[in-house]
Amino acid sequence: MLKSWWAAFLDLLYPPKCPVCRTPVQQHGAWCQPCLAQVIAWREINVAGRRLSALDSCWALCEYSAGAKRVLQQLKYRRASEYAVYCQWLLSRLDAGRLPRIDVVVPVPLHAARQAERGFNQTELIFRRWAGQRGWPWAEAVIRTRATAPQWELAPGERRKNIKGAFCLTRPEVIRNQTVLLVDDILTTGMTLNECARVLKKGGAGKVFGLALASGAADQPSESTKAFTTSGSKAVPE
């Protein structure tokens, strides 16, 4: 009760607004319809065509451009962890029926030094609650043992080498014979997810599927209207 009064008070003080165009919306974290429609681009990444052989399938929810790019950049580079709520809201639009049966969700880790500097792993802020709402265990089963240059800074030929051997499985017991959903905030080439998936498979994971909040990669045509419930900013994440 106290919490709802407090929430109502905060709404009066800071009315919820779309993170992109600042149009008033009905709840904190929500996007307005036009901005939402612009970023939604559910697609399957072509894992065979990209030689991402450790991933059984891989999907991305949003286009990494305009609104999604701005929100993710705020979250990552300006340490504005409050922006996570806008990402969580995007994720809440995804119909979980689109995904296969999952046993455990594993985030792509940051290197410990980078996480200490940032204060959080943005992938955890985005996905952990969502996984919990679906009853999927969250397992930080992999660590990054080597600080790597951001993939987007490198020439395509250097990217595979950059990420190779960067991860180490620390909790094999939680992924052995399990179907893993490996999650990350942004997918560029998919090599980071693939390298992580390779380590998981080597450690005994069954299937490994990849899911990124946003991708700049153009692969298969989007089926956004089927994948998402775009109607009603009232839809509260359960």
- Contact footprint for Zn ion (CB under 5 A): 18, 20-21, 23, 32, 35
Q: Specify the residue, 30 or 139, whose C-beta has the smaller distance to Zn ion.
A: 30
Tokens of 197: 């998936």
Using the structure block, give the residue that is written with the tokens 């455990």.
104
Q: Please, what sign has the CA dihedral across residues 85, 89, 90, 94?
A: positive
Tokens of 150: 């951001």
State the nearest-atom distance from the C-beta of 191 to Zn ion, in Å: 33
Q: Specify the residue, 37 or 236, whose C-beta has the smaller distance to Zn ion.
A: 37
State the nearest-atom distance from the C-beta of 81 to Zn ion, in Å: 21
Task: Return the DSSP state at 6.
Answer: H
Residue count of the chain:
238
Q: Specify the residue, 68 or 213, whose C-beta has the smaller distance to Zn ion.
A: 68
State the nearest-atom distance from the C-beta of 20 to Zn ion, in Å: 4
Between strands 57-63 and 167-169, the pairing is: unpaired
Sequence-distant (6+) residues with CB within 8 A of 224 are 37, 40, 41, 42, 230
Q: Specify the residue, 67 or 109, whose C-beta has the smaller distance to Zn ion.
A: 67
State the nearest-atom distance from the C-beta of 17 to Zn ion, in Å: 8
State the nearest-atom distance from the C-beta of 134 to Zn ion, in Å: 27
Buried b (16+ CB within 10 A) or exposed e, 67-105: bbbebbebbbeeeeeebbbbbbbbbbbbeeeeeeebbbb
Q: Specify the residue, 17 or 129, whose C-beta has the smaller distance to Zn ion.
A: 17
